[in-house]
Chains A and B, each alone.
Chain A
C-alpha cells in the first residue's frame, strides 16, 4: 500500500523563481501535495528570529540552521503544522510568523514552534539555490 510509481514520479523536484516575491511577501507552492511556504523575510523578521535565545525554544534550532547561507532573507518551510497536519496561516500570531487555526500552534518568523501543542518546528524541505533568484525544491 506504499505510494505507486506514478505518485513517486510526480513527486520529482520542482524549480521556483523567486524574483517576483517582494520583501515581506510570501508565496505558497505545492510539492508532493504539500504546501511549501517561501517567505521573503524583512530585516525585522530576521532580527527577531536571531535575537531569541535558542535554548529557550521548545525545539531548539538556530535560524541560521534553517536557511541557506548567504540567502538569509529566504525562508522555505513545509506549511504543515507538526501537530496534526493543518496548514498554518502566514503573517499571523504573536511571533510574526505562522499561526495554525486548528489547535492554536504559533510559529515564529523562522518557522520554529513557540507556543501551542505542536511538538516540532515547521520542517524545512530539501532544496538548493540554482541561481540567486531560483531554487529547486526536492
Chain B
C-alpha cells in the first residue's frame, strides 16, 4: 500500500505466484518494511488491539450463530443452551459478550488518542472520517447483537432505540414499521436483526481495510505531530511495531480475560436474564455502558425530535473535526490550552455516561443539560476558538529530535491532577446516589462458598438445597433449564449417573403422542428436564392470585440490586458478583408478619423487607422444621435459604467451576506470555531509542 514493493521471493513456487498476484509483496510493504515513526507510544497499539478484537468477535460470533436460533419463542432458550450444553459454549458466549465491551473500550481510547494528538488533521481527514464510519457501524452492530439473547433488556432496548426513528417528521412511523417488520418489536424484528448483526461485522472489516489503506498512504501520526522526513525518523514495522503491538495485545488480553473468566456479568444487566415480555417494561431501561453518554444527551433535551437530532449530531460532529480544529500544531503536547480542555472533555464524557445510567429526574436532568452543552461547546466553540487564540509551544524539528529530547515528563502532573479531579467528581456523584438508595434496604452480603476466583460450590449445601426445592419451591416454581442428567455433571451437586436416573424415575413426564395418537405419562429419564408444576403461564397465574411464580433456573442471575458508586468500582477488583444470591437469600428470610406502621399491603400480598415495593404475592414459603436433612444440618429458615440459594446459583451457572478453573490456566499462560513479549520488545527496541 505504499508504492510498488521491492520484495523478491527466492522460492520458485512463491516467485511463480508473486508474478501473477503480488500479494506477498503487498503484505511485505504494508506490514514488514512499512516505516513507522519511531516515537510512537503505547496509545498507538490500540489500532492493533482493535483489529484483534474484530477478529475475536467474528470468530466467536460465527460459532455462536451455529448454535443460536433467531426465533422469538426460542432465542432466549437457545442462548441458555449454548451456555449449558455446547462444548465451551459458556466461554464463547462470555468472550463475545465481554468482547463487545472491550471492543468499545479500545475504540474509545483509540478515538481519544486521535483527538489528543490531532490525528485527524491534514492529510488524514479521510482516514479519520472512515474511522467515524466504523464507529457508527460498530454502534449499530453492538445494538443489534444485544437484542439477540431476547431478554427483557434486549426487547425493551430494541423498542426504545427503534422508536427513536419515530421522531422523524412525516416518515417516522413508516420507518419504524419497516424496521420492525410488524406492528411492534417481535419475531420479524429479531430475524432481521440477526441477519444484519451477521452482515455488519464484515462491512466493518471492509471499511477497516480502507482505514488501514488510508493510514498507509498518509503514514502514521505520532506524539510529536511532525511528519517523518528522513529515514532516521522511522523504524520498519517488523519487528519494531509488531513486537510492541503483540505486547500491547497481550496486556489487553489480560484485562479482557478478567471479564471473561471472573466477571462475566459485571457489564451486563440482570434484567436480561428474564425472557422478553412485551407486556411488562423494566423499571429502568439502561443501554449498554458504551452508549450511555449519547443516551444521556438524548434524555437531557426535553423535545423528542430535538433529543434524537442532538444524539446523532453528537456522533456526526466528530466527522467535521478536521475542519473545526484548524490549529496548525497537531499534537496537544505542544498546545497548553487544548491539552487542558481535552482532559475536561474526557471528564464530561465520563460524567455523561454516569448520568445516562441514572433515572431521568431532578438534579440528573439539569446536570445532563449542562454537560450536553459542554460536549457540543468543546467541538463547536472551543476548538475553532482555540486554534485562533492559542500560542502553541515550539514543536521539535523532527521525530528523531523528539526521541532524543525525551520531552513528556511534563505531562505526568497533568494526568494525576485529572485523575484526582475525576475521583473527586465521581465521589460527589456517588454520595448523591447513595443518599437516594437509602429508601430501599439492600440485602446483607453473605459469605458464599462459590465467591471469589477459587470459589467452588458446596456439594452438601447443594444437595440440601435440591431437597428444599423439591419439597417446597417446586409446588409453584419451575426449573425448566435443568435436566436430571445435569445433577451428575462435574461441578454440580455430586450425584452419580445412577442416582440422577433414579431421581428422574420418581417423576412422571408427559410424552406422546403414541401410536393411538394419545399423550401418555412415563417415568422420567436422565435426559428429561424438571417438569413444571403448571401446564402454562395462565394456569400458573390463576393459581397464584394473578402473579406468575418465576422459573428458578436463572433466578440468582436475574435478580440484582444497586451497589452504587464507588462500590461498583471496588467490586471489579474483589470480583464481587453475588448480588443475586444475596437477594434470593434475603428475600426468603425477609418476610414479616406485620408490615411496619405506615405501610399498607394490598389484599392477597405479603410484606417482605427486600422485595421491591415490599408487597409480594408469594406467602412466606419456609418455616423452621419444615424440611428435615439427613446430614444433621439445622432445620432452620436461615439454613434452608442458604442451601436453596447455593443450589439455585448452580442451576443459574452449572459451569461456574470450569470457568474459574480454565480462568486460572489462562491467566498463568497470559502472564508468562506478556512477560516474554515485554523482554523481547525491550531487546528489539534497545538500539532504536
- What residues make up the interface of A, taking CB atoms closer than 8 Å to B? 1-4, 7, 11, 28, 30, 32-35, 83-87, 100-104, 117-119
Task: Check A86 against B156 for contact (C-beta < 8 Å).
Answer: yes
Task: Check A101 against B283 for contact (C-beta < 8 Å).
Answer: yes
- Beyond A3-B188, A11-B183, whether A86 also contacts B159 by CB under 8 A is yes
| Stretch from B121-129, B134-142, B274-282, B681-689 that touches the partner | B274-282
Which of A2, A4, A30 has its CB near the most chain B CB atoms (within 10 A)? A2
Task: Check A7 against B183 for contact (C-beta < 8 Å).
Answer: yes
14 extra A-B contacts, CB within 8 A, seeds A30-B279, A104-B360: A1-B179, A3-B180, A7-B188, A11-B183, A32-B184, A33-B184, A33-B185, A83-B304, A84-B163, A85-B163, A101-B281, A117-B299, A117-B307, A119-B305
- Beyond A4-B188, A86-B160, whether A102 also contacts B183 by CB under 8 A is no
Task: Check B278 against A102 for contact (C-beta < 8 Å).
Answer: no
Can you report 14 residue pairs joining A to B where beta carbons are below 8 Å apart?
Answer: A1-B181, A3-B183, A30-B279, A32-B183, A32-B184, A33-B182, A34-B184, A35-B279, A84-B163, A86-B156, A87-B279, A101-B282, A102-B284, A117-B360
Q: From the candidates A11, A33, A84, name the one contacting B278 in the complex (CB within 8 A).
A: A33
A interface SS class: loop
CB-contacts of B180-219 with A (<8 A): 180-186, 188, 192
Task: Check A104 against B361 for contact (C-beta < 8 Å).
Answer: yes
Q: Which residue of A lies closest to B188 (CB)?
A: A7
Task: Check A85 against B182 for contact (C-beta < 8 Å).
Answer: no
Q: Is the CB of B303 closer than 8 A to any CB of chain A?
A: yes
Which of B185, B281, B305 has its CB near the most chain A CB atoms (within 10 A)? B281
Q: Closest Cβ of chain A: how far from B467's Cβ, in Å?
A: 39
Q: Which residue of B lies closest to A35 (CB)?
A: B279
Provide the residues of chain A in CB contact with B182, threshold 8 Å: 3, 7, 32-33
Per-position binary interface string of chain B over residues 254-297, scored 1 when its CB falls under 8 Å from any chain A CB and 0 otherwise: 00000000000000000000000011111111000000000000
Provide the residues of chain B in CB contact with A11, threshold 8 Å: 183
- Beyond A11-B183, A32-B184, whether A103 also contacts B360 by CB under 8 A is yes
Q: From the candidates B162, B163, B278, B307, name the one contacting A30 in the complex (CB within 8 A).
A: B278
Task: Check A102 against B281 for contact (C-beta < 8 Å).
Answer: yes
Q: Is the CB of B315 closer than 8 A to any CB of chain A?
A: no
CA distance A33 to B303 in the complex (A): 27
Provide the residues of chain B in CB contact with A4, threshold 8 Å: 181, 188
- Beyond A34-B184, A102-B160, whether A2 also contacts B177 by CB under 8 A is yes
Task: Check B302 against A117 for contact (C-beta < 8 Å).
Answer: yes
Q: Is the CB of B86 closer than 8 A to any CB of chain A?
A: no
Task: Check B280 against A87 for contact (C-beta < 8 Å).
Answer: yes
Q: Is the CB of B105 closer than 8 A to any CB of chain A?
A: no
Q: Which residue of B lies closest to A28 (CB)?
A: B279
Q: Is the CB of B483 closer than 8 A to any CB of chain A?
A: no
Task: Check B278 against A35 for contact (C-beta < 8 Å).
Answer: yes
Task: Check B281 against A86 for contact (C-beta < 8 Å).
Answer: yes
Q: Which residue of B lies closest to A85 (CB)?
A: B163
Question: For chains A and B in complex, what number of residue pairs have CB atoms within 8 angstroms?
Answer: 79
Q: Which residue of A lies closest to B183 (CB)?
A: A32
Q: Closest Cβ of chain A: how far from B274's Cβ, in Å?
A: 15
Task: Check A1 against B192 for contact (C-beta < 8 Å).
Answer: yes
Provide the residues of chain B in CB contact with A86, threshold 8 Å: 156, 159-160, 281, 285
CA distance A33 to B189 in the complex (A): 12
Q: Size band of the B side of the interface?
A: 35 or more
- Beyond A7-B182, A85-B159, whether A103 also contacts B299 by CB under 8 A is yes
CA distance A118 to B254 in the complex (A): 45
Q: Which residue of A lies closest to B283 (CB)?
A: A101
CB-contacts of B160-181 with A (<8 A): 160, 162-164, 166, 177-181
Provide the residues of chain A in CB contact with B177, threshold 8 Å: 2-3
Task: Check A2 against B159 for contact (C-beta < 8 Å).
Answer: no
Provide the residues of chain B in CB contact with A85, threshold 8 Å: 159-160, 162-163, 166
Q: Which residue of A lies closest to B163 (CB)?
A: A85
Which of B182, B299, B307, B359 has its CB near the most chain A CB atoms (within 10 A)? B182
Provide the residues of chain B in CB contact with A33, threshold 8 Å: 182-186, 278
CA distance A35 to B305 in the complex (A): 24
- The 9 A-B residue pairs with the shortest CB-CB distance, nearest first, are A33-B184, A32-B183, A85-B163, A86-B281, A84-B160, A85-B159, A87-B281, A84-B163, A119-B304
Provide the residues of chain B in CB contact with A35, threshold 8 Å: 278-279
Provide the residues of chain B in CB contact with A3, threshold 8 Å: 177, 180-183, 188
Task: Check B299 against A119 for contact (C-beta < 8 Å).
Answer: no
- Beyond A35-B278, A119-B304, whether A84 also contacts B159 by CB under 8 A is yes
CA distance A86 to B280 in the complex (A): 9
Q: From the candidates A1, A34, A101, A117, name the one contacting B178 in the complex (CB within 8 A).
A: A1
CA distance A62 to B192 in the complex (A): 41
Q: Which residue of B lies closest to A31 (CB)?
A: B183
Provide the residues of chain A in CB contact with B281, threshold 8 Å: 86-87, 100-102
Provide the residues of chain A in CB contact with B183, threshold 8 Å: 3, 7, 11, 32-34
Per-position binary interface string of chain B over residues 344-376, scored 1 when its CB falls under 8 Å from any chain A CB and 0 otherwise: 000000000000000111000000000000000
CA distance A119 to B360 in the complex (A): 16
CA distance A7 to B166 in the complex (A): 20
Q: Closest Cβ of chain B: how far from A127's Cβ, in Å?
A: 15
Task: Check B178 against A2 for contact (C-beta < 8 Å).
Answer: yes
Q: Which residue of B lies closest to A2 (CB)?
A: B178
Per-position binary interface string of chain B over residues 148-161, scored 1 when its CB falls under 8 Å from any chain A CB and 0 otherwise: 00000000100110
Provide the residues of chain B in CB contact with A32, threshold 8 Å: 182-184
Q: Which residue of A lies closest to B174 (CB)?
A: A2
Q: Which residue of B lies closest to A118 (CB)?
A: B304
Q: From the candidates B164, B184, B279, name the one contacting A84 in the complex (CB within 8 A).
A: B164
Provide the residues of chain B in CB contact with A83, threshold 8 Å: 163, 304
CA distance A35 to B186 in the complex (A): 13
CA distance A1 to B181 in the complex (A): 6
Which of A2, A30, A84 has its CB near the most chain B CB atoms (within 10 A)? A84
CB-contacts of B600-635 with A (<8 A): none
Task: Check B279 against A7 for contact (C-beta < 8 Å).
Answer: no
Provide the residues of chain B in CB contact with A2, threshold 8 Å: 177-178, 181
